[in-house]
Structure 1
Amino acid sequence: MKYIGKSVNRVDGIKKVTGELKYVDDMKLPKMLYADVKRSPYPHAKLLKVDTSKAEALPGVKAVITGKDVPNRVGLYLEDKTFLATDKVRYRGEAIAAVAAETKEIAKMAIDLIDVEYEELPVVSNAVEALKPDAPLVHPDLGEYHYGPIFFPEPGTNISNHYRVRKGDVEKAFEEAEHIVENSFFVPHIQHSPIENHSAIAQMDRDGSLTIWSSCQSPYAVRKALSVAFDLPLNKIRVLSPAVGGGFGGKAGTTLEGIIIPLAKKLRGRPIKLTYSREDEFVNSFVRQGMHATIKTGVDKDGKIIGVKNNFVWDGGAYTEYGVNIVRAGGYSSSGPYDIPNLWTDSICVYTNHPVGGPYRGFGMSEIHFAIEQNIDLLAEKLGIDPVDIRRINGLKPGGSNATGEIIEQCGLLECLEDVAKNIEWGKRNPPSKTNKVRGKGIACGFKAPSMPNDVASAAIIKLNEDGTAHLLVSGQDIGQGSDTALTQIAAEALSIPPHKITIKTGDTDHTPYEWQTVASRITYCSGNAIINACEDAKEQLFELAQLALGIYKRDLVLVDGYVASKIYPDKKIAIKDLALGLSLPDGSGIHGPIIGRGSFIPPNVRNTDKFTGQGEKPVAFWTYGTQGVEIEIDKETGKVDVLKVASCFDVGKVINPNLIEGQVEGGIIQGIGSAIFEELVIENGIVKNPSFVDYKIPTADDMPEMIVNFVENPEETGPFGARGVAEPCMVPTAPAIANAVYDAIGVRIKSLPITAEKILKAIKEKEKNS
């Protein structure tokens, strides 16, 4: 292949490094007004009265809205939220009212003039406690909500989805097990922390047409949600996402767009802009859900796991319209990348009065693997088996089956395991230190599939220009992962045109074709396949014309370096540019017209799992498997953890762009390190205590370890040129590998994230006290 597997420079690189790329908050439109939001100081309270009269009277204020202006519930999977609270507030910071004013300062003054009367309600601040029969209900009207057929809320409770897996006979497996081990783990809420804050502009024209400029990952998903919320036909809504400065899932759904649209409806012709503060980002955009996990495992004398019983309780926060699908993914992935014949899983999404849980890089896999991969090490210790060996024994291999009973035909997990074990020098111990610093090594496996409905579609258009260049139109968003470049390379390979001759356009629902969402590590796979199909359509048109021009049957034609040429006589050829607008005939007439290729794609043969057992032959499009190993150093006097080295290997099917994919993995490792030893939203009685970078820490350049990044390429049969996604899977094993390394270093198992210096010091002291 000429362009696939090559490190082509990023197509957006120059604009990004020079600052020429314009983000939504850079935009200043004529006659633009500025919005601000009145938010609840209480995590849970009835709204008794909202008085906006003083705000409306303030000079410079143009419009004020409350919940009565946005009565419709919205949600991609479960319609459980309105953009402004209507009857009560369910988390501290929930939007109650909004204003549009001539300046930001006036908008802020107006917000302070809005009077709200509340009746405080009991706060639901623990997901496990929220499951009790007498727990206060966050959503008493859950039974009235609309939701998809693959989700199972339980009205009259705080359960918004209960996903079950029942494979084999777990109780019989426990009776036959040589050893049974049960462990519990906890993962807290964390924040995405993208460089760019959420920002949006809304403008409604006098004919009722609505235009939204939004820093969103998924313009078509936003358009659909807004259509439902405001009873607008899709042809009257245009969503543009000009550039996204990082998302990690936090910009996948709708957030602030629905707040400014009612203002735009009242102020026809005037753009309304709202940009979140950093504090808003921490509290009022999606957070990664918390999770309580209990795993009971039965194993035979040879180290083969014969039965597992999982209980995953997810803290979905005040609204779980996205979280219900994360919990579903956690359920059907609950075996981890292991072949376990008997499995019982309850994966439960629970409402609390915490910030709204939503998609975060890994989509539940990082959370469950923190538990699964430590549990594997605990089993190994119980049996006296090396942690790598127990993974060799139980790791999925071709012909094995996963949690849903799907037979795995292709799996490079063990190849990845061996590569990482070699590069981390597994089994080689460091000599005892003469200082207070000790070292340890840990290893963890991981896997992930695209968590998406079975019928999600992607589309692509390729337009050939009369000079032999092309325009590629898609709606997969480049949020930093480099998809614009990878998709351009796929089109280049399919049409035999150099990448620099193809310009990609994305993110405009009026002008770029449909794309479900930029989530789930699916864009290279889904949009890439749609692009190949569009290029095949264009190729077929080119061949129809070329066979007339060259007098050669199209079955004997091939695309080569910008030409349609004979397979047999390569010198007989015609340039693509000479066919781009159709074919001119000797008599001066012409046929066909411009070449425009159209392509679409839906993952083949993906079907729902059984409602009661979670079993299914093919519930997802593909699985990405991998392993990471780490070496850490701990200062026993301070408890500080330094990650010195990380070895990583994933089976990606086919590397499209080596530089880009290495950057993806390195970024995933750093984000995984952050979740492992730094990051936690501290929430007390529903109130976030650390909503800023002063108190919420993320990794910096000083925390970069040595990284060895390798790949296995077992082609994905249905992937573009054999590729499968890795953007999210590469974060999944990092935190559990670090947790296992901490145990290796100090002999104490820490089962909750983050693994802070304070926790390590406490563990060391307790160990010394009990020794």
Structure 2
Amino acid sequence: MIKKESYIGKSVKRKDGPEKVTGSAKYVGDLKFGSMLYAKILRSKYAHAKIIRIDTSKAEKLPGVKAVVTGKDFPQRMGLYLLDRTPYAVDKVRYYGEPVAGVAAVSEEIAQKAIELIEVEYEELPAVLDPREGMKEGAPLIHPDLKNYEHVPAIYPKPDTNISNHFKIRKGNVEEGFAKSDYIFEGEYYVPQIQHTPIETHTAIVMCDSTGKFTIWSSNQSPNAVRKILSHSLKIPMTKIRVLGPYCGGGFGAKAGVNIEAPLIPLALKLRNKPIKYVTTREEEFRDTFVRQGMYAKIKTGVTKEGRIVAQELEMVWDAGAYNEYGVNITRAAGYSSAGVYDIPYMKTDSYCVYTNKPNGGPLRGFGMSEMHWAIEQHMDMIAHKLGMDPIEFRLKNIQRDGSTNATGQVLKDVGIEKCILRAKELIGWEEIKGEPKPELSSGKVRAKGLACMIKAPAMPNNAASSAIVKFNDDGTVALLITAQEIGQGAFTALAQICAEELGVPEDWIKVSQPDTDYTAYEWQTVASRITYSAGNAVIRAARDAKRQLLEMGAKHFGVPLEELDVYDGYVYVVADPARKIAVKDIALGLTLPDGSGWGGPVIGKGVFIPEGVVSFDKETGQSPKGVSHWTYGVQAVDIEVDVDTGKIDVKKVVAVYDIGKVINPDLAKAQTEGGIIQGLSTALFEEMKFDEKGKLLNPSFVDYKIATAAELPEMIIDFIETPLEDGPYGARGFGEHVMVPTAPAIANALYNALGIRINTLPLTAEKVRKAIKEKYGI
């Protein structure tokens, strides 16, 4: 018998590592083509205004300008979930920075000069900057035609309002639940819009050839979604659209769906066979690409005197910006996840997506979970303290376990949150905390610990599909053809490990393709922490299909039943007699028989995967026996130090424990978690998009918008629980986004445990903390 070495659970080197370390990796910005043109966009200087007149004549006459377009040239709406956006404003602008006109020229400098020559006359309209005001009757309508917009069936816009989606949970009679409660606690919480700040700004090149076929090179997380959206808007078949995905320098959700590709389409239609390149400036990146939505939350929770949660009512109002095509689904995801990690018998949730005259809301690592858990996890801590209970004791009394039902009525199994809490408690060195802390303050620094939990499911359609093709080369090496994108998370490496494990060939024989919708296998999108889970399952099936073909040829060669053979280290061999073997390279293109004839053929395996049994949520109640494919749980605990004199929070240590089912690559899993912790810490302490009273973004650069740096790095202790997922590859669950979700509420809870100060609005700046100290203690 051969003792096989497994690639699962092993830290192999990153597939993309050498190229990125040496600088040879190609991003869209590195691509250059002959006869390339360069685009610039004229953007609105009003948050809400009618367009009275646009005069492009001076720009068109400028030498070097090849085309000028406006909204009239391409008025078709685009979107993945809700078709509410056009490449350029048609009749009015809806946020400060919206594209109004585009120019393609022989250089960026000429394109910029042309933009400055375009004259636009506006009639300013009242702007809606607060979604709570936007919900009110009589508020200015940002999209009067909302009732006519196409949308997917799971989205429920309210015509003649600014509400683009309203997702409901009705689990039992919540008033009956409150009547059974001994105490009722209420709280309000807020998170602002923030930016993704990827290192690589959005970049795209678009060309339409003489046959009308579009080729698009894009820093994008979802090539097939881009193709689908453009095919629908252009009214052309998908075979007429090719999307290629070079390496993507950070996405975090910002590069999902169609972004800056759209304004290039009308220019490409006018300029056949001319590749047109557009690179956003850092200011445009901040203001004119997806931002994380703001959110206001109100929570009302009923509990017994023993500390058992009975009922909860939650209202979330999402500040989704001027266009909500992605935001409507974030609102939905937060709605069906609104129990958090808790087993609550009676629930009422209303999650509203609301148009405002601010930048476009979209996905940012967590897809609504960071925002929602900021509210829920602080609220749970507050209740524990009011009851005189330790926050961990309170959570353990109320968390979901096998057999619990969540907000949507799904009966849960393989729930690992208790193990995560207990492990985090041990690693952080938790000391029991009861009641409000009463520190004796004058100056100096105060130390304290805090904890927060989280839950997340992949937010994707019930039929979100993955596929993979495994193709053997003449020398036995393997091409893995997928359209999953490598955005820094290590997807290519993990999928190569899975492929090698199944095929029985060395991992370094696997070459993973970069996305090309003309040639690589279909992938819905690289979002939702679904690639290891969904694409991983497709790769397993494709590899097993290819392996079966190898074994069939081996059976023919050795004259034994297929079941008596296996593949390992690049050889097909007889299990009972491993010395009888044949190299994979010798049969990869087919078997040569003793008489010189051929048999079989090139080995090409295919695999497909769609999660089974996922059922839509009821429109009125949000109930479903299985509304999502799976859930992933996690916990973070922090140890912080607060400077009483300045209000500055210094995060000393973060413990992160996640139940990810099965660790495919320990180093990648750890690195993912470290990155998520820093991103969560950054949103907790620094990040906020600030606007003036007219809706203009005031801090569209790293000069004024602060993010965490190496100076803020805490000690990080990371551990994983492995409760296998029934249909996960080797039991693995998705967890890429989850690792930034609980950081901010854990820090907020630690701040309370340090000083008895509860700050319900992000970020927890030194100014806010110092003000709260002064108000509470008079110092």
- Asked if TM exceeds 0.5, the reply is yes
Q: Which amino acid aligns with 2:560?
A: I
Match of 1:418 among 416, 422, 430: 422
Counterpart in 2 of 1:134? 138
Match of 1:723 among 720, 732, 747: 732
Other structure's SS at 1:739 match:
helix
Counterpart in 1 of 2:551? 543
Q: CA deviation at 1:367?
A: 0.4
CA distance in 1, matches of 2:236, 2:357: 31
Q: Which amino acid aligns with 2:741?
A: V
Work out whether 1:526 is the aligned partner of 2:534. Answer: yes
**Any stretches of 5+ residues in structure 1 without a counterpart?**
none
Other structure's SS at 2:426 match:
helix
Match of 1:505 among 510, 513, 523: 513
Other structure's SS at 2:537 match:
helix
Greater alpha carbon shift after TM alignment, 434-443 vs 158-167: 434-443
CA distance in 2, matches of 1:579, 1:551: 15
Please list the CA deviations of residues 648-693 of structure 1 after superposition, one character each: whole Å capped at 9, or x if unmatched. 1000000010011100000000000011010000123311111110
Q: CA deviation at 1:435?
A: 5.7
Other structure's SS at 2:175 match:
helix
Q: CA deviation at 1:544?
A: 1.6
Q: CA deviation at 1:176?
A: 1.2
In the alignment, is the contact (CA less than 8 A) between 2:54 and 2:118 conserved in 1?
yes
Match of 1:458 among 466, 476, 498: 466
Q: In the TM superposition, what are the counterparts of 1:297-312 in structure 2 within 5 Å? A: 297-312=301-316
Match of 1:610 among 618, 622, 634: 618
Please list the CA deviations of residues 161-218 of structure 1 after superposition, one character each: whole Å capped at 9, or x if unmatched. 0000000121011111011000000010000000000001111111212111111111
Work out whether 1:146 is the aligned partner of 2:155. Answer: no
Please list the CA deviations of residues 631-658 of structure 1 after superposition, one character each: whole Å capped at 9, or x if unmatched. 1111111111110000010000000100
Please list the CA deviations of residues 558-600 of structure 1 after superposition, one character each: whole Å capped at 9, or x if unmatched. 2222222233333333222222011111111112210000111
Counterpart in 2 of 1:13? 17
Counterpart in 1 of 2:646? 638
Q: Which amino acid aligns with 2:596?
A: G
Q: Which amino acid aligns with 1:719?
A: G
Q: Which amino acid aligns with 1:405?
A: G
Counterpart in 2 of 1:116? 120
Please list the CA deviations of residues 367-422 of structure 1 after superposition, one character each: whole Å capped at 9, or x if unmatched. 00000000100110111110000111111111111111111111110101011011
Q: Percent identity?
A: 57
In the alignment, is the contact (CA less than 8 A) between 1:70 and 1:229 conserved in 2?
no
Match of 1:272 among 272, 276, 280: 276
CA distance 1:722–1:432, shift in 2 (3 Å): farther
Counterpart in 1 of 2:687? 679
Match of 1:208 among 212, 234, 237: 212
Q: CA deviation at 1:760?
A: 0.4
Counterpart in 1 of 2:632? 624
Greater alpha carbon shift after TM alignment, 54-63 vs 226-235: 226-235
Other structure's SS at 1:297 match:
strand
CA distance in 2, matches of 1:390, 1:563: 56
Counterpart in 2 of 1:49? 53
Q: Which amino acid aligns with 1:123?
A: A
Q: In the TM superposition, what are the counterparts of 1:366-385 in structure 2 within 5 Å? A: 366-385=370-389
Q: Which amino acid aligns with 1:489?
A: Q
In the alignment, is the contact (CA less than 8 A) between 1:440 and 1:631 conserved in 2?
yes
Work out whether 1:105 is the aligned partner of 2:109. Answer: yes
Match of 2:666 among 639, 642, 658: 658
CA distance in 2, matches of 1:575, 1:432: 75
CA distance in 2, matches of 1:433, 1:93: 47
Work out whether 1:561 is the aligned partner of 2:575. Answer: no
**TM-score normalised to structure 1 length:** 0.99
Greater alpha carbon shift after TM alignment, 231-240 vs 732-741: 231-240
CA distance in 2, matches of 1:328, 1:258: 25
Please report the RMSD computed on the Cα atoms of aligned residues, expressed in angstroms. Answer: 1.3
Greater alpha carbon shift after TM alignment, 290-299 vs 230-239: 230-239
Q: CA deviation at 1:434?
A: 9.3
Please list the CA deviations of residues 242-289 of structure 1 after superposition, one character each: whole Å capped at 9, or x if unmatched. 110000000001111111121112111111111000000110000000
Please list the CA deviations of residues 428-474 of structure 1 after superposition, one character each: whole Å capped at 9, or x if unmatched. 79998996111111000001000000001111001112222111110
**TM-score normalised to structure 2 length:** 0.97
Work out whether 1:667 is the aligned partner of 2:675. Answer: yes
CA distance in 1, matches of 2:182, 2:769: 32
Counterpart in 1 of 2:757? 748
Please list the CA deviations of residues 306-346 of structure 1 after superposition, one character each: whole Å capped at 9, or x if unmatched. 10000000011000000000000000000001111111000
Q: In the TM superposition, what are the counterparts of 1:690-769 in structure 2 within 5 Å? A: 690-769=699-778
**Any stretches of 5+ residues in structure 2 without a counterpart?**
none
CA distance in 1, matches of 2:665, 2:606: 24
Q: CA deviation at 1:745?
A: 1.0
In the alignment, is the contact (CA less than 8 A) between 2:390 and 2:432 conserved in 1?
no
In the alignment, is the contact (CA less than 8 A) between 2:504 and 2:570 conserved in 1?
yes
Please list the CA deviations of residues 718-766 of structure 1 after superposition, one character each: whole Å capped at 9, or x if unmatched. 0111111111011111110000011111111000000111110110011
Greater alpha carbon shift after TM alignment, 571-580 vs 642-651: 571-580
Q: Which amino acid aligns with 2:334?
A: G
In the alignment, is the contact (CA less than 8 A) between 1:52 and 1:64 conserved in 2?
yes
* Deviating 4+ runs (over 6 angstroms): 428-434
Q: Which amino acid aligns with 1:606?
A: V
CA distance in 2, matches of 1:175, 1:207: 69
Match of 2:365 among 361, 372, 382: 361
Q: Which amino acid aligns with 2:327?
A: G
Aligned length: 770
Other structure's SS at 2:265 match:
helix
Work out whether 1:596 is the aligned partner of 2:614. Answer: no
Q: Which amino acid aligns with 1:708?
A: I
In the alignment, is the contact (CA less than 8 A) between 1:550 and 1:574 conserved in 2?
no
Q: In the TM superposition, what are the counterparts of 1:416-455 in structure 2 within 5 Å? A: 416-427=420-431, 436-455=444-463
Q: Which amino acid aligns with 1:589?
A: S
Other structure's SS at 1:191 match:
coil
In the alignment, is the contact (CA less than 8 A) between 1:70 and 1:230 conserved in 2?
no
Q: CA deviation at 1:232?
A: 2.4
Q: Which amino acid aligns with 1:516?
A: W
Work out whether 1:331 is the aligned partner of 2:340. Answer: no
CA distance in 1, matches of 2:369, 2:560: 53
Q: Which amino acid aligns with 2:267?
A: L
Work out whether 1:239 is the aligned partner of 2:243. Answer: yes
